[in-house]
């Protein structure tokens, strides 16, 4: 599915069709005239500056994190002093990166596994309790985060998972299930039944059919689910805030947040900027690489409401 | 056997081998088991536990001390921040929802025509939504600080601060949220706009409708399902606001920006350490949320008929 767009008529399209000045653009229309360009320039300036408002904070942070600034570890000239501060903060940024990576990868793996099997079950099988279980899974969306985290804190302590990254990953996986199960279910439903039935007639077990035949067919759905699970887990703040209280086991967002106001109450803004860059970088790279899957996730939710 | 055989003989073949119904159901359950385990252990069970905690004396460290209903609810409602936090959360929700929906729709209308320039714009509006809310809050925490901000000279000259008065803190936080989420709502609006058939616009144009008339009488009414979905999403998200205020304002100045979820965290883990009262607050939030969403859906539905 490509990026949402509509090339047909726009509401009251009194404006001329988009005319491009650059010759390299493939879509040229009759509006390529001096008047056309003059007419469109304010539009480009306006929309371009709106776009810049959205990009500016990110660009500024990236630049500021390596630029000289009083009260940080990077006072003279440009360099990576702020990143050095970050690297040596408490257990060190590598520790927190590893913690975050562990939580994220475990969450992604569990979410993919559970929603892959669950989506298959909901799409292809009829069994007692199917609808109840599906509705119950979607109901997770209705319940506030905090409402669940308070009892989860007690429950995880009971089973010895207090202060544990595995516990955090389990909780984050649960919060991913409504979206993941829903998306995998519609992904499986979009695959013609004949495909797996044929495989089973050929003597495959339902599991072999799922693994060999259906897995490739629902791969786009899995990528979307994995991407969203990663972004959610990597960025989550509240679950580790409540469930983790050992500085050794904090995840990166928590560590960067705690970094402020550690040095005798004076906030090291430079190190915070560096932390934001480290936090944001994987998300932005993934976003740029998987933009189509990202849009797809939003849209499947919106379409089915 | 030929895999590409037409579907009917295939179905017949399946029936010929006639897996017993019970076996299919069992298989379905088998695939759904991981989902069921997660949903029951990490969602249903905590939900029941929070109800129990809400009617029990339950200090953070000592654990369950027996039923004390309805003390927790009385304490929750009598908490000195309760009324203020409810009022503030509602105020913030209204502000954020109005701004995000208006801006989301505006941006969607701006970039709905398909062109390379618009694809670029859409991506730049959407990039902030790949960031975590915590990362975005940290970014703006630096951006708003009077020391490290690039806007510091302007702030000094105008005598303005971003976070030092209740109103400024609310406005600044709302700006952060709009920056982070506008692209997300834009995508949802784009999906809605895409669902409006082009010939409706064509008809409006033939009838000589102005742009504004077309927007009022065609676009808005036909966009109602999307508007309902986005309103519910935005209201739910804003009522449960936590990270942005926890990181950016820490509830200040003078506890003027404490949201309801922040109050839950405060009661549970900071100072009071009373999980029973926190659970009671959580239950109140849950009930309020369900009511608010039911009312909204009803309002949108009755308008439709």
ipTM value:
0.85
Residues on chain B touching A25 (C-beta within 8 angstroms): 116
For residues B44 and B105, membership in a common domain is answered with no
pLDDT confidence of residue B304: 65
Q: Show residues of chain A in contact with B28, CB under 8 Å.
A: 121, 124-127, 130
Q: Which residue has the higher pLDDT, A80 or B51?
A: B51
Residues B108 and B242 in one domain: yes
The pLDDT of residue B3 is above 60 = no
Nearest CA in chain B to A173: B38
Which chain A residues are closer than 8 Å to B141 by Cβ?
A: 260, 272
- B270 in a structural domain: no
Residues B186 and B131 reside in one and the same domain? yes
Write phi, then psi, for B157 (nearest 5 degrees). Answer: -65, -40
- Enter the tokens of residue B57: 């004396």
Separation in Å, CA of B167 to nearest CA in chain A = 22
Averaged pLDDT score across all residues of chain A: 81
Split at pLDDT 50, 70, 90, the class of B31 is: very high
> B276 lies in a domain?
no
Q: Are residues B54 and B153 in the same domain?
A: no
Question: Which chain B residue has its CA at the smallest distance from A3's CA?
Answer: B119
Residue of A nearest to B140 (CA): A57
Q: Which of B6, B40, B46 to mutate to test the interface with A (most CBs of A within 10 A)?
A: B46
What is the residue range of B56's domain? Answer: 15-70
Question: In this predicted model, what pLDDT tens digit does every residue of A106-126 receive, in sequence order?
Answer: 999 999 999 999 999 999 999
The answer to whether the CB atoms of B127 and A18 lie below 8 A apart is no
Give the model's pLDDT for residue B33.
94
Between residues B4 and A91, which one has the greater pLDDT? A91
* Number of domains forming the structure of chain B: 2
Give me the pLDDT at residue A280, please.
Answer: 93
| Same-domain check for residues B252 and B123 | yes
φ, ψ dihedrals at B44, nearest 5°: -65, -45
pTM, two decimals, is 0.85
Helix axes A193-201, B7-17, angle to 10 degrees: 50
**Measured CA distances, B217 to B59, B200, B301 (Å):** 57, 11, 18
Tell me whether residue A130 is exposed, middle or buried, using C-beta atoms within 10 angstroms of its C-beta: 0 to 12, 13 to 18, 19 or more: middle
Question: Is B63's Cβ below 8 Å from some Cβ in A?
Answer: yes
- pLDDT score recorded for residue B152: 74
Interface contact B119, partner A, CB < 8 A: yes
Nearest to A238 among B33, B210, B243 (CB): B243
> Do B110 and B166 sit in the same domain of this protein?
yes
Distance from CA of A211 to the nearest CA of B (A): 13
pLDDT at B142 over 90: no
Q: Examine the fold and report which residue of B49, B70, B91 is the final residue of a domain before the chain moves on.
A: B70
Are A177 and B35 a contacting pair at CB < 8 A?
A: yes
In angstroms, rounded to a whole number, what is the distance separating the alpha carbons of residues B204 and B211? 9
Mean pLDDT value of segment B64-68: 84
The residue ranges of every structural domain in chain A are 85-304
CB contact under 8 A, B187 and A305: no
In angstroms, the CA B90 to CA B163 distance is 19
Q: Which residues contact A267 (CB under 8 A, 6 or more apart)?
A: A260, A261, B145, B147
Set of chain B residues whose Cβ sits within 8 Å of the Cβ of A47: 110-111, 117, 121
Residue B231 CA to residue B225 CA, distance in Å, equals: 10
In this predicted structure, what is the pLDDT of residue A301?
58
Judge whether A103 and A95 are in contact, CB under 8 Å: no
DSSP B46-65: HHHHHHHHHTB--BTTT---
Q: Cα(B270)–Cα(A164) distance, rounded to whole angstroms?
A: 20
Answer whether A171 sits within 8 Å of B42, measured CB to CB. yes
Answer yes or no: are the C-beta atoms of A116 and A177 closer than 8 Å.
no
Which residue would you say has higher pLDDT here, B194 or B38? Answer: B38
Q: Which of B170, B136, B158 is nearest to B249 (CA)?
A: B170
Whether B234 and B113 map to the same domain: the answer is: yes
Alpha-helical regions (H) of chain A: 34-64, 81-87, 93-124, 130-139, 145-158, 165-189, 193-201, 206-208, 215-217, 219-235, 238-243, 252-259, 269-289, 291-304
Same structural domain for residues B127 and B241? yes
Same domain, B51 and B109: no
- Taking 90 as the threshold, does the pLDDT of residue B301 lie above it? no
Q: Indicate whether B101 and B189 sit together in one domain.
A: yes
Size of interface A-B (CB pairs under 8 A): 346
Q: What is the mean pLDDT of residues B216-235?
A: 89
Which pLDDT belongs to residue A207?
84
Q: Which of B31, B184, B222 to mutate to test the interface with A (most CBs of A within 10 A)?
A: B31
Nearest C-alpha in A relative to B287: A143
Confidence of residue B15 (pLDDT cuts 50, 70, 90): very low
**What integer pLDDT is reported at residue A300 of this predicted model?**
66
pLDDT of residue A170: 96
- Per-residue model confidence as pLDDT tens digits over B94-127: 999 999 999 999 999 988 888 888 888 999 999 9
End-to-end CA distance of chain A: 18
Per-residue pLDDT of chain A (305 residues; tens, 9 = 90+): 334 443 333 343 333 334 333 344 444 444 467 777 777 888 888 889 999 999 999 999 888 888 777 666 666 667 777 787 777 777 778 889 999 999 999 999 999 999 999 999 999 999 999 999 999 999 998 888 888 999 999 999 989 888 899 999 999 999 999 999 999 999 999 888 888 888 888 888 888 888 888 899 899 899 999 999 999 999 999 999 999 988 888 999 998 888 876 555 667 788 888 889 999 999 999 999 988 888 777 766 555 44
Mean pLDDT estimate for chain B:
86
Q: Strand, helix or coil at B33?
A: helix
Least confident of B38-52, B142-156, B161-175, B241-255: B142-156
Compare B155 and A96 and report the one with higher pLDDT.
A96
Domain CATH code at residue B228: 1.10.3720.10
- Identify whether residues B165 and B235 lie together within a single domain: yes
CA–CA gap between residue B266 and residue A146 (Å, rounded): 11
pLDDT for B14: 47
| Shared-domain flag, residues B141 and B209 | yes
Round to whole Å and give the CA distance between B276 and B58.
5
Superfamily grouping for domain A85-304: MetI-like (1.10.3720.10)
Within 13 Å, how many C-alpha atoms sit on residue B291's CB side? 6
- The Cα B273–Cα B76 span in angstroms is 13
Phi, psi angles (nearest 5°) of residue B114: -95, 120
- Tokens 């200090």 belong to B59
| pLDDT at A32 (0 to 100) | 61
- The pLDDT of residue A261 is 64
CA separation for the pair B177, B239 (Å, rounded):
13
**pLDDT digits over B254-280, tens only?**
888 899 999 999 999 887 888 999 999
| B10 pLDDT above the threshold of 50 | no
């Amino acid at each position: 599915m490509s990026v949402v767009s509509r090339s047909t008529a726009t509401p009251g399209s009194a404006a001329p069709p988009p005319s491009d000045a650059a010759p390299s653009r493939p879509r040229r229309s009759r509006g390529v005239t001096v008047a056309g360009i003059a007419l469109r320039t304010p539009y480009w300036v306006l929309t371009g500056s709106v776009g810049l408002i959205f990009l500016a904070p990110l660009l500024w942070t990236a630049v500021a994190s390596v630029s000289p600034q009083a009260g940080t570890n990077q006072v003279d000239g440009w360099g990576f002093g702020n990143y050095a501060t970050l690297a040596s903060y408490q257990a060190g940024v590598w520790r927190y990166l590893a913690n975050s990576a562990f939580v994220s990868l475990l969450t992604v793996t569990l979410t993919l596994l559970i929603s892959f099997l669950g989506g298959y079950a909901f799409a292809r099988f009829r069994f007692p309790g199917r609808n109840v279980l599906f509705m119950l899974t979607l109901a997770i969306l209705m319940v506030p985060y905090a409402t669940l985290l308070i009892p989860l804190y007690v429950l995880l302590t009971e089973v010895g998972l207090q202060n544990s990254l595995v516990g955090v990953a389990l909780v984050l996986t649960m919060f991913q299930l409504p979206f993941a199960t829903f998306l995998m279910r519609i992904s499986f439903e979009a695959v013609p039944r004949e495909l797996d039935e044929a495989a089973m007639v050929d003597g495959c077990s339902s599991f072999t059919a799922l693994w060999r035949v259906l897995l490739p067919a629902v791969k786009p759905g899995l990528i979307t689910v994995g991407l969203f699970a990663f972004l959610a887990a990597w960025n989550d703040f509240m679950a580790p805030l409540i469930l983790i209280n050992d500085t050794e086991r904090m995840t990166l967002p928590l560590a960067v947040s705690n970094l402020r106001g550690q040095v005798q109450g004076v906030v090291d803004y430079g190190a915070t900027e560096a932390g934001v860059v480290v936090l944001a970088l994987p998300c932005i790279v993934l976003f740029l690489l998987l933009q189509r899957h990202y849009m797809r996730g939003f849209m499947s939710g919106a379409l089915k409401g | 056997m030929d895999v590409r055989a037409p579907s009917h003989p295939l179905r017949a073949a399946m029936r010929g081998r006639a897996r017993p119904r019970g076996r299919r159901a069992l298989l379905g359950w088998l695939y759904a088991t991981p989902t069921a385990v997660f949903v029951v252990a990490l969602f249903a069970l905590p939900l029941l536990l929070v109800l129990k905690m809400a009617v029990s004396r339950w200090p953070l460290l000592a654990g369950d001390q027996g039923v004390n209903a309805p003390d927790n609810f009385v304490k929750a409602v009598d908490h000195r921040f309760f009324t203020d936090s409810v009022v503030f959360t509602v105020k913030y929700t209204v502000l954020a929802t109005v701004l995000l929906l208006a801006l989301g729709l505006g941006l969607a209308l701006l970039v709905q025509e398909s062109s390379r320039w618009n694809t670029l714009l859409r991506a730049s509006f959407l990039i902030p939504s790949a960031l975590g809310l915590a990362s975005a809050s940290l970014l703006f925490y630096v951006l708003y600080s009077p020391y490290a901000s690039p806007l510091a000279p302007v702030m000094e000259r105008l005598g303005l601060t971003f976070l030092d008065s209740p109103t400024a803190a609310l406005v600044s936080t709302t700006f952060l949220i709009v920056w982070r989420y506008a692209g997300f709502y834009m995508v949802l609006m784009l999906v809605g706009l895409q669902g409006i058939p082009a010939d409706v616009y064509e008809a409006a144009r033939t009838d000589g409708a102005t742009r504004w008339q077309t927007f009022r009488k065609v676009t808005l009414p036909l966009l109602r399902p999307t508007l309902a979905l986005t309103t519910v999403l935005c209201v739910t998200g804003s009522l449960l606001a936590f990270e942005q205020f926890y990181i950016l304002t820490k509830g200040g100045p003078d506890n003027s920006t404490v949201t309801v979820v922040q109050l839950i965290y405060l009661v549970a883990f900071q100072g009071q350490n009373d999980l029973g009262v926190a659970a009671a607050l959580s239950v109140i939030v849950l009930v309020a949320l369900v009511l608010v969403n039911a009312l909204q859906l009803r309002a949108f539905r009755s308008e439709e008929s």
